[in-house]
Amino acid sequence: MTGFVSFVGSGPGDPELLTLKAVSRLQAADAVLFDDLSSAVLSHARSGADLIAVGKRAGRPSPSQAHVSQLLVEYARTGIRVVRLKSGDPGMFGRLEEEIVALRAAGIMFEIIPGISAASAAAAVAQIPLTRRLSARRVQFVTGHDVTGDLPEQRNMAALADPDATTVVFMPKRTFPALATSLIEHGLSPDTPALIAENVGHPDQALTRTTIADLAAQLEAGFSSKPALILYGPLMDHEAGE
């Protein structure tokens, strides 16, 4: 007998941004394996449920992905209801594929419950649209680093430097200075609007509006350990409302 796994998107951290289905699965779960950035929503978990922290954070001791996948399989094999709580949306840079592969290999059934991405939440907090009629008809989500922690070597710079696209960079702080240099070399104006959003969905969230060149210089000088993402492109000017 095997259990059932629900991959649940916790959104950016604000419990009020959970979906009704996410709350339902948390209330019914016998075990919840959760990411660090998802801990704020654990108040919805059933009393007595096992709560297992399996989050991975840059620069901190973290369980390996293989270990997390194995834990997920082991809990499900006991025949219980398991929630794998992932920050943001499970399918957005959340190592979802590796865990799905492990479950399928073990013959364990699962479902995926989407959550609000940090990208959508950041745009909402900043009161800007991710798309704009005529000037931003395309949105692209990219990761700021590969498995080594460095800027990915294989990058579509024509797409990344497209002035008519809104680009959202996840996990960007360490590598954005190098990315900005490459963007400018490929024709993107150094004055392109940029927004860095830190700890979105949490009480201490912070937004900084700047340009790609100035933001690169700021991050080159140092940065905090707070999780963040960066948006750049034809972002609406908050002050001018345009």
Query: Which residues are known catalytic residues?
Result: 35, 56
Core vs surface per residue 173-203: b (16+ CB within 10 A) or e: bbbbbebbeebbeeebeeebbbbbbbbbbee
Cα three-residue angle 28-122-93, rounded to 5 degrees: 60
Q: What residue type is 211 in one-letter code?
A: T
CA atoms within 13 A on the CB side of 171: 19
Q: Which of 44, 43, 41 is nearest to 15 (CA)?
A: 41
Q: Distance between CA atoms of 222 and 160, rounded to whole angstroms?
A: 24
